C-alpha cells in the first residue's frame, strides 16, 4: 500500500510540475536595443511580456552570457547563455540538446535547462549557466563542479578554482587518456545511463563537466554547451580498485556472505570505517555501538536494525566525539526499528576539506527507508537526521535536544506519524523539494520553525500540536501547505508564507479547522503569498517578510558550517 501511495504522490508532483512549466512557456523576449548593438559588459533592459529586467551582457565568439540584476529571474534563471543558431544544422543540434537534457532529468541525471528562444526573428538556444542553481534544480546538494578542456593539452579544473583531491583529477584524466573508469571516484550507474541516453541523439558525446556529489563522494556527468564531440573516447573499461576491509575489525560476514553482523554484542569503534556496497548491515536486538575518538560508519550498503521493546539497538558516543552513521544506499532499502541513537556530531566536521558534505549525525541517501519506534537525542550536528532523495515511512520516533534542525528531508517523498520533536535548536521538520504527510505529531520548544516546507514542496499536516515554539507552520518558495485540525499554542508566529529564494516564488497555506491560541502574531504573510483560513483568504500582508525572520526579529539564524 505504501508503495502505491508514494507512486501516486510522485505522479501528482511531476504532473503539477509539467503544468507549471507550460504556464511559463514564453519563447521570445527583447532588449532595449538590438542585440547586435549591445556592447560587451553593458547593462541593458530586457523586456519579457509586461516585465522589465535589468541585465548585464557579456559577449564571446561562441555565445552571449546574460546576468539578471536586482533579484530578477528569467524562466527562474539568474544567469544563462544564448547560442546563436545560424542554419538548419544548428537548429537540429539545438533540438537534440534540448531533448537530451529533458531525458537526463527524467532519468534522475543532471540536465541543463535548455529551450529555443526567438530574439529579433533569429533563433537562439537558451541554456542556464553552470553553477550552484543548476545542481540544486536537479535535486542535488551544492558541490564542486569539474570542467574538462582539451586544446593542445588536457586540463581538468573546477569552475570556481577550488582545491580538490588529486585523486579525482587523476581519475578524470585516466578516463580521457586510457579509457578506463575507476568506479571508486565515478558514479558508474549514472555514467552508463548518460552514455546510453546520449547515443539516441549523438554519434559521439561525452561529458565535458562533472559534479562531485558531496554525499556519495562520486563524480556525476554533465553536458553543457553545444560542442558535441568533446572527448573522443569509446565506452571505457570500468574497474574497481581494492576495497578497504577495515570494517571487518568490527563486523563479520554472515553464513551466506550477503550480510555483515557485529562480532561483539558491545562494540567500540575508534576510527572511521567504510562498508562497501552489495551487502546488508544487520544490527540485532540489545547490541551496542560506541563511536569514540571521532569514529563513524559510512556505509554504501543498506541497514537492517532489529531492536525490540526493552532491547533497543544503541548507538552512542561515550567520549562525545562520535560522528554518526551515514547510509548511502542508492536504490536499496533500509529498515530501522527500536534504535536508540545519541550524542553524535556529523561526519562533515572532519571531511569538509575534501568536499564531502554530510552535515547530519544520521544520514540516509537514496532508496527507501522505514524508521519506527526509535529515539534520536543530544545530537550536535547541523541536521540531526537527514534523508536525501528517499521514499520514507516514519512512525513513533522522538528527536530531542538537537543543536540545530531535528529532521531534514531533501527531495524526498514520505510520511511521518505519531512523532515527537522536543527542544530543537532550529527547525523541527524541514522539507525541500519534496512531498510529506505528517500527522498526530508533537512539536515542543522549537527555536525556529516547527513545520517548514520550501523549494516547491507539498506538505500536509494534520492533528499535530505545536507549542511554545518560535514559528508554527511555514510555507516558502512556491510550496503549498495544507494544515488540518492542528493546534498552535503559545508561539511567536502561527503561520508564515513568503518567498526566500529568487528562483522560486510566493507560497501558500490552506488552513482548515485549526486551533490557534495565545500566539504573539497569528499570521505573517508576504504580498503575493497567501493564507486561506477555513475557506476565507487573509487580507493582511507584509513586505519583505524575510527581514523579520532568521533571528532578526523572530526565529533563529540558520546555522551552516563553513
Per-residue pLDDT averaged across 26-42, rounded? 87
**Residue 1's pLDDT band (cuts 50, 70, 90):** very low
516-537 pLDDT per residue, tens: 999 999 999 999 999 999 999 9
Per-residue pLDDT averaged across 532-553, rounded? 88
Q: Can you give the residue ranges of every domain in the chain?
A: 2-239, 243-382, 404-562
pLDDT the model gives residue 83: 96
Residue with more model confidence, 234 or 15: 234
CA 48 distance to own-chain centroid: 30
96-144 pLDDT per residue, tens: 999 999 999 999 999 999 999 999 989 999 999 999 999 999 999 999 9
Residue with more model confidence, 94 or 561: 94
pLDDT the model gives residue 231: 52
**Residue 547's pLDDT band (cuts 50, 70, 90):** confident
**How many CA atoms, within 13 angstroms, populate the side-chain half-sphere of residue 428?**
31
On the question of pLDDT at 64 being above 90, the answer is yes
Least confident segment among 238-252, 397-411, 514-528: 238-252
On the question of pLDDT at 357 being above 80, the answer is no
332-355 pLDDT per residue, tens: 999 999 999 999 999 864 554 466
pLDDT the model gives residue 558: 67
CATH architecture of 404-562: 3 Solenoid (2.160)
Least confident segment among 21-30, 254-263, 379-388, 431-440: 21-30
257-307 pLDDT per residue, tens: 899 999 999 999 999 999 999 999 999 999 999 999 999 999 999 999 999
In order, the DSSP letters of 132-199 are HHHHHHTT-----EEEEEESSSEEEEETT-----HHHHHHHHHHHHH-EEETTTB-HHHHHHHHHHHT
pTM of the model: 0.89
On the question of pLDDT at 367 being above 70, the answer is yes
On the question of pLDDT at 23 being above 60, the answer is no
pLDDT the model gives residue 205: 84
* H-state helical runs in 242-364: 348-351
136-153 pLDDT per residue, tens: 999 999 999 999 988 778
pLDDT the model gives residue 165: 80
On the question of pLDDT at 4 being above 70, the answer is no
pLDDT the model gives residue 187: 93
428-469 pLDDT per residue, tens: 999 999 999 999 999 999 999 999 999 999 999 999 999 999
On the question of pLDDT at 229 being above 80, the answer is no
In three-state secondary structure terms, 316 is strand
**Are 29 and 47 within 8 A, CB to CB?**
yes
On the question of pLDDT at 8 being above 60, the answer is no
Provide CB contacts within 8 A for 386, sequence distance 6+: 359, 360, 362, 363, 364, 408, 409, 410
Alpha carbons 392 and 559: distance in angstroms, whole number = 25
490-502 pLDDT per residue, tens: 999 999 999 999 8
Mean pLDDT, the chain, integer: 90
**Residue 2's pLDDT band (cuts 50, 70, 90):** very low
**Residue 14's pLDDT band (cuts 50, 70, 90):** very low
Q: Which residues pair with 431 in a beta bridge?
A: 409, 453
Q: Which of 544, 523, 543 is nearest to 532 (CA)?
A: 523
**Are 464 and 438 within 8 A, CB to CB?**
yes
pLDDT the model gives residue 348: 66
316-336 pLDDT per residue, tens: 999 999 999 999 998 999 999
Helix (H) / strand (E) containing 104? helix 88-106
Residue with more model confidence, 315 or 358: 315
Per-residue pLDDT averaged across 407-417, rounded? 97
Amino acid at each position: 500500500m505504501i508503495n502505491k501511495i508514494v507512486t501516486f504522490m510522485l505522479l501528482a508532483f511531476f504532473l503539477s510540475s509539467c503544468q507549471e512549466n507550460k504556464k511559463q512557456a514564453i519563447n521570445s523576449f527583447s532588449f532595449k536595443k538590438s542585440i547586435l548593438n549591445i556592447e560587451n559588459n553593458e547593462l541593458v533592459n530586457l523586456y519579457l511580456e509586461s516585465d522589465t529586467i535589468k541585465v548585464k551582457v557579456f559577449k564571446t565568439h561562441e555565445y552571449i552570457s546574460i546576468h539578471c540584476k536586482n533579484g530578477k529571474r528569467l524562466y527562474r534563471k539568474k544567469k544563462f547563455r544564448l547560442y546563436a543558431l545560424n542554419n538548419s544544422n544548428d537548429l537540429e543540434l539545438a533540438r537534440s540538446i534540448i531533448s537530451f537534457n529533458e531525458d537526463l532529468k527524467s532519468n534522475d541525471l543532471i540536465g541543463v535547462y535548455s529551450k529555443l528562444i526567438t530574439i529579433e526573428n533569429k533563433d537562439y538556444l537558451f541554456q542556464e549557466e553552470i553553477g550552484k542553481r543548476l545542481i540544486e534544480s536537479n535535486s542535488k546538494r551544492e558541490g564542486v563542479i569539474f570542467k574538462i578542456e582539451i586544446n593542445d593539452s588536457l586540463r581538468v579544473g573546477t569552475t570556481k578554482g577550488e582545491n580538490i583531491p588529486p585523486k579525482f583529477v587523476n581519475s578524470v584524466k585516466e578516463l580521457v587518456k586510457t579509457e578506463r573508469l575507476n568506479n571508486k571516484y565515478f558514479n558508474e550507474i549514472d555514467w552508463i545511463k548518460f552514455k546510453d541516453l546520449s547515443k539516441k541523439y549523438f554519434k559521439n558525446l561525452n561529458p565535458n563537466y562533472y559534479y562531485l556529489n558531496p554525499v556519495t563522494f562520486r563524480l556525476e556527468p554533465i553536458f553543457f554547451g553545444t560542442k558535441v564531440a568533446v572527448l573522443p573516447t569509446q565506452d571505457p573499461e570500468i574497474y574497481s580498485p581494492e576495497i578497504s576491509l577495515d570494517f571487518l575489525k568490527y563486523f563479520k560476514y554472515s553464513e551466506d556472505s550477503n550480510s555483515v553482523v557485529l562480532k561483539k554484542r558491545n562494540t567500540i569503534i575508534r576510527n572511521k570505517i567504510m562498508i562497501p556496497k552489495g551487502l546488508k548491515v544487520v544490527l540485532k536486538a540489545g547490541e551496542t555501538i560506541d563511536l569514540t575518538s571521532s569514529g563513524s560508519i559510512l556505509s554504501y550498503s543498506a541497514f537492517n536494525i532489529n531492536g525490540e521493546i526493552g532491547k533497543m539497538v544503541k548507538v552512542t558516543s561515550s567520549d562525545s566525539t562520535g560522528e554518526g552513521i551515514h547510509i548511502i544506499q542508492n536504490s536499496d532499502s533500509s529498515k530501522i526499528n527500536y534504535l536508540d541513537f545519541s550524542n553524535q556530531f556529523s561526519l562533515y566536521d572532519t571531511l569538509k576539506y575534501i568536499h564531502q558534505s554530510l552535515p547530519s549525525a544520521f544520514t540516509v541517501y537514496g532508496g527507501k527507508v522505514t524508521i519506527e519506534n526509535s529515539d534520536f537525542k543530544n545530537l550536535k550536528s547541523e541536521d540531526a537526521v537527514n534523508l536525501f532523495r528517499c521514499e520514507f515511512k516514519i512512525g513513533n520516533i522522538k528527536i530531542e535536544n538537537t543543536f540545530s534542525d531535528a529532521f531534514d528531508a531533501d527531495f524526498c517523498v514520505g510520511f511521518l506519524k505519531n512523532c515527537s520533536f522536543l527542544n530543537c535548536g532550529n527547525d523541527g521538520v524541514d522539507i525541500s523539494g519534496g512531498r510529506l504527510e505528517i500527522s498526530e505529531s508533537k512539536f515542543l520548544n522549537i527555536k525556529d520553525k516547527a513545520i517548514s516546507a520550501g523549494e516547491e514542496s507539498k506538505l500536509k499536516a494534520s492533528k499535530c500540536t505545536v507549542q511554545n515554539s518560535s514559528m508554527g507552520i511555514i510555507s516558502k518558495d512556491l510550496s503549498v501547505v495544507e494544515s488540518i485540525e492542528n493546534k498552535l499554542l503559545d508561539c511567536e508566529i502561527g503561520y508564515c508564507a513568503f518567498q526566500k529564494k529568487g528562483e522560486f516564488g510566493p507560497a501558500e497555506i490552506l488552513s482548515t479547522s485549526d486551533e490557534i491560541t495565545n500566539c504573539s502574531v497569528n499570521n505573517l504573510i508576504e504580498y503575493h503569498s497567501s493564507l486561506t483560513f477555513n475557506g476565507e483568504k487573509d487580507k493582511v500582508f507584509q513586505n519583505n517578510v524575510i527581514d523579520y525572520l532568521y533571528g532578526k526579529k523572530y526565529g533563529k539564524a540558520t546555522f551552516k558550517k563553513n
